[in-house]
Structure 1
Amino acid sequence: MAMAMTMMGSPQTNSSCGEETKWGTRLLCVFRMRYIDFRVAEVEALEQMACGLGFYRENEGPLIGKKGTMFKWEAPKGGEEARDGPFWYLRAPTREAAEKLAAVVGERGVLVKCLVDLWSEGDTLEAMALDLRQGAVEDAALRPDVEDRKSRVACFSDKGSTFKFSCEGFGRRIPMQEQLAVIDVLCRACGHVGKVSLKQPQYDFYVGNTAVSPKEHNLPSIPDHWYFGLLLCRTTTWYDAYKLSERKYLGPTSMDHEVAALMANMAQCRPGKLAFDPYVGTGSILVACSHAGAMTYGGDIDVRVIIWGKEKECCDVKSHGEFVQNGKVDVWTNFDSYGLPRPLGLIRCDASSLPFRRQAACSEDLFDAVVCDPPYGIRAGGRKQGGRQAWMRDREVPEDRKDSHIPSTAAYSTSECVVDLLDLSARHLVVGGRLVYFFPSAVTGEIPRDWLPSHPCLEVEHCCEQELTMVWGRKLVTMVKRKPYDPDEAGEHRKRQLALGSDLLKFDRLYELVHSSSGEKSKKVKSYKGKKI
């Protein structure tokens, strides 16, 4: 009965955002059950785009006194395990801030299913209906009367207005007969007088219920609870338009379309911004950044991927149709087939030595975001410029062979790759720009689980871990450039990062350490904390 919509309601709807307290407006954030550790971080990144107010945390002293001007998370009901469930509470400082957040989340949210202006909740449907009917609360000063909220919604006074109910269960499917009974109870409790319209209602009221047994569907155990409120926005799975299974040009390490969309949100890509991927490959991450409206730029050391592409004999010509041009498909084909703006440029380059003039002021403070998935040698080894013999590297390439010449390369260790990535980001990002990248993690006795590489110009804003197997994982790290680049300071920090005995050097032996640490070599994670369910 639920219907996917980006934004619900007329201007009258937008002026109604339920519970107003000293914390502002109380919302219910309903998440999708995938990429569990990424969900809160995505909302916080989208909030910065929408409002720029930030989030209040009680354990951060400097933020005390800003309670009424910031967003605030509240843990869901059901204890620690319920944190992995879909229902979280979110306090917005004002109704206007809640509306702005809903507009951005509804347009481009990936892990948020919907945002609800929470009117009432209860352990039973009857308790929730009683609360709606009487406005019974423990402390009336903390929440306005139900009638005050209803006065802002036309369907309680105007017979010509339209509305609908969306009933959703977590851990169970609510049968149609039960949905009708629930709707009847809530309509009588609230006193709706408008007309029902399932296709294009002015107001969409959300009804949610949780009832999950400890062993059911391998989901987190959450107590039975009911939620009711006015739907502010519902997201769509817009990223499914970029499924890898239907893409024209792919490589062995092409980023999953859903994760690429998440990375674009964490990087806050939007119109007027410039995003750079120094390991662009087949362009999966830049496709998501381009969809978000950002201008894009890419580089890669493999000329065969970004320039040559694949000959049409290697592809299904019928499925590619008009997008097979000059007998091949390439990175440009992906953007053209989706109708997205092409990257400003793709350069054959080495991330350890970008072809930007370091003396030119225009080459620094250039990008608003660096978004990438560096090669760590797990699925594909990293390469950099170089070779076994120095005389081959120093030879001049004949003019008539420069277009077809493939320079020699050498192995690129994880430690060097990470240090170079952070340094190029610190140098070429604008102050306030964001670096979003994946960093490997693993359960071993030698590598600290919470350790992350650092840079004096960059500050970690979010670190979200995805469990891939019982021993393997990866972290999506978001860093923000906080101050201008200082070459001397950066050089000293680089030496410390690569000094003998540093934690970063241990990651050069990550594959060896993982496969010698335990017998759980490649067992996949079966819980909901893995990729998706």
Structure 2
Amino acid sequence: MAQHPPDTGPSDPSGPQYLIRLAHAHETFRVPELESLASLLGITLSVVDYKPTSPFCVVRFNATSTSVDQPSQDELAKTFISHSILSKSIYELYATGTTYDDLHDNVKSLPASTWAPYKNVSFKFNIDAFCGSRTMAQQRDIVEGFGYLPFEGRIKLKNPDVEFVVGEEWELLTPEEHSLLNTGAGVQQRNPSVDGNGNGHADTNTAEKVAAILSERKPRRLFFGRFIGESRRDLIIKHDLKKRPYISTTSMDAELALVTASLAKAGLGGLFLDPFTGTGGFMVAAAELGAIVLGADIDGRSFRGKSKGLEKGVGANFRRYGLEGVLGDCLTADLTNSPFRLPGKPKKDSSRWLDGIICDPPYGVREGLKVLGRRVHGPDGMNGKATHEGPYFIDGVPSHLLPGFVAPKRPYSFNRMLDDIMDFAVRSLVDGARLAFWMPCANDADEEFPVPRHNMLELKHSCIQVFNKWSRRLLVYERVAGDVPEDMVNGVQDLSLDSTSGHKADELNQFRRMYFRGFAEETPKNDHG
């Protein structure tokens, strides 16, 4: 798959601005997805105005191509948003303001030519109030406030020729205000004698406080724009895990799987691999975005299910979504014993073949991490020599060729796994291709896990999903152009835990150790007790 150059500079400052309406979810993933889509599509994108607490993001576009057939700004915007998962829609932005008087003044200052294309076409207005609400009467008053615009076409609420939007960004409620409003709503449900004006008896004070909060709330920013296009957010419903024929308790949420594939720049014709396939959630996500996908897992039962092939396992999911044509295959293998082509010392870019790697490696909490190989303890605790080399024979037949053979496994260090993932990526990804994987971490800053680094992988994004006492990060790397130097030390850099120290599950996995002690401070062992 051809890799487009990343955003290399600002867009034309004289060009139109566009308002992206983002979903109110996964805030740390929003801007990374915008950057990834711009890189995938070969579009220069500049973020003009954005705050993580707001779903409104103002941007400018500019194509990197100098062709005379270059698409218009509206076409660029529509193409861009049609690939987004964490956005809802995009609008050409005409004006902003902090009050409606301010907004109207800015709209009126625009040249008459702005409205000429829409003078005689059907139209409608929408009100998008974030963290606020408007009654139908209030919405009608807002729309009628734009009566000075020279529109002579008829109002058409369904499938109009043009759609305008008024975006309202309201002040966020404080926890106290939110609690009080919920209390007030509960009071009215339990006691109909108390209305919104405080008419009642025992709960009059609560109703009065609620009314005061509602009367004082107002938008802090306003936007006025024209609808351009919608995102691919409908894919989240399409890929709802509840409707998927083959899943497990560890299957990745459909939205996050799609976002992971998007940040890895999964696109039409790209060749992607998930080396920890499981039930194939990432494979399905990348395939939905147009990639051809391959998978591997140390336990073939995870992607096969109860059948010998993929028909009742991962294959059933691809069949449901009509994606069989982009499913390559799934192999029983681990990262350290991969049958996929992996040159030892690549000299030419042509020896590398993957356009992307996406995965959610096992965290080793429920059971320790394993890798194919015999469990042998040497002086270093893990890398001792086997007393027997070569295959075992049973009745003259190699044991691994007999029905029901289960390959032996040995403990695996968590840091060593990260090391192997990055080394595999460096030796298999083409220049500009991406590696995206999830990594657990503690919420306590004092227990922070270092982000793995590699000289041939540029860290593009680190996005966090927070749980109760721990979090997980989506780390996105891009393959640096060039060959691997002969003297380069492969793998993870600056990790505090030696990747091969110990041979027990807890010794090999710092996160597992912290998880089972509830992320409390680790007590040093007493050498004398």
Matched, 1:171 2:131: yes
| Residues 179, 335 of structure 1: alpha-carbon distance in 2 compared, 3 angstrom cutoff | same
SS in 1 for 2:85: coil
More divergent stretch after superposition (422-431 vs 240-249): 240-249
Contact 2:43 2:61 in 1 (8 A): no
Q: How much has 1:288 moved relative to structure 2?
A: 0.8
Q: How much has 1:277 moved relative to structure 2?
A: 0.5
2:460: which partner in 1? 461
Contact 2:246 2:313 in 1 (8 A): yes
Contact 1:51 1:101 in 2 (8 A): no
1:336: which partner in 2? 319
2:511: which partner in 1? 510
Q: How much has 1:428 moved relative to structure 2?
A: 0.5
2:39: which partner in 1? 48
CA RMSD across the alignment: 3.4
Q: How much has 1:224 moved relative to structure 2?
A: 2.4
2:55: which partner in 1? 86
Matched, 1:285 2:282: yes
Contact 1:426 1:485 in 2 (8 A): no
SS in 1 for 2:417: helix
Q: How much has 1:237 moved relative to structure 2?
A: 2.2
Q: Tell me the alpha carbon deviations over residues 208-254 of structure 1, each in whole angstroms, 9 at most, x when there is no partner.
A: 112233335599x9952221111122224222111111211112321
More divergent stretch after superposition (123-132 vs 419-428): 123-132
2:358: which partner in 1? 371
SS in 1 for 2:148: helix
| Residues 330, 197 of structure 1: alpha-carbon distance in 2 compared, 3 angstrom cutoff | same
Q: Tell me the alpha carbon deviations over residues 438-487 of structure 1, each in whole angstroms, 9 at most, x when there is no partner.
A: 122213465446x3111121111111112112x31111111111133426
Instruction: Please list, as runs of the form range in 1=range in 2, the aligned pairs for 1:22-421 lying within 5 A after superposition.
Output: 22-53=13-44, 71-76=45-50, 82-93=51-62, 96=71, 98-133=73-108, 135=109, 145-151=110-116, 154-156=117-119, 158=120, 161-186=121-146, 188-212=147-171, 213-215=173-175, 224-235=220-231, 236-307=233-304, 309-310=305-306, 329-341=312-324, 342-358=326-342, 364-378=351-365, 381-388=368-375, 390=386, 394-396=390-392, 398=397, 401-402=401-402, 404-421=404-421
Q: How many equivalent residue pairs?
A: 446
Instruction: Please list, as runs of the form range in 1=range in 2, the aligned pairs for 1:444-455 lying within 5 A after superposition.
Output: 444=444, 447-448=447-448, 451-455=450-454
SS in 2 for 1:423: helix
CA separation in 2, counterparts of 1:380 and 1:149?
A: 63
Unaligned runs of 5+ in 1: 1-19, 54-70, 77-81, 136-144, 312-324, 522-533
Q: How much has 1:403 moved relative to structure 2?
A: 5.3
Matched, 1:426 2:417: no
| Residues 99, 47 of structure 1: alpha-carbon distance in 2 compared, 3 angstrom cutoff | farther
Structure with more of its chain in helix, by fraction: 1
Contact 2:422 2:491 in 1 (8 A): no
Give the TM-score, by structure 1 length: 0.75
SS in 2 for 1:271: coil
Q: How much has 1:488 moved relative to structure 2?
A: 3.3
Counterpart of 2:306, as a letter, is K
Q: Tell me the alpha carbon deviations over residues 387-419 of structure 1, each in whole angstroms, 9 at most, x when there is no partner.
A: 336467742463694453220112222101100
Give the TM-score, by structure 2 length: 0.76
CA separation in 1, counterparts of 2:340 and 2:160?
A: 54
Using the aligned pairs only, state the percent identity.
26
2:188: which partner in 1? none
Q: How much has 1:23 moved relative to structure 2?
A: 5.0
| Residues 126, 504 of structure 1: alpha-carbon distance in 2 compared, 3 angstrom cutoff | farther
Kindly name which structure, 1 or 2, has the bigger radius of gyration based on alpha carbons.
2
Contact 1:356 1:363 in 2 (8 A): no
Contact 2:416 2:500 in 1 (8 A): no
| Residues 24, 399 of structure 1: alpha-carbon distance in 2 compared, 3 angstrom cutoff | same
Q: How much has 1:127 moved relative to structure 2?
A: 2.8
CA separation in 2, counterparts of 1:502 and 1:407?
A: 23
Counterpart of 1:116, as a letter, is Y
CA separation in 2, counterparts of 1:179 and 1:224?
A: 17
Q: How much has 1:514 moved relative to structure 2?
A: 5.1
2:438: which partner in 1? 438
Contact 2:342 2:428 in 1 (8 A): no
SS in 2 for 1:84: coil
CA separation in 1, counterparts of 2:287 and 2:310?
A: 25
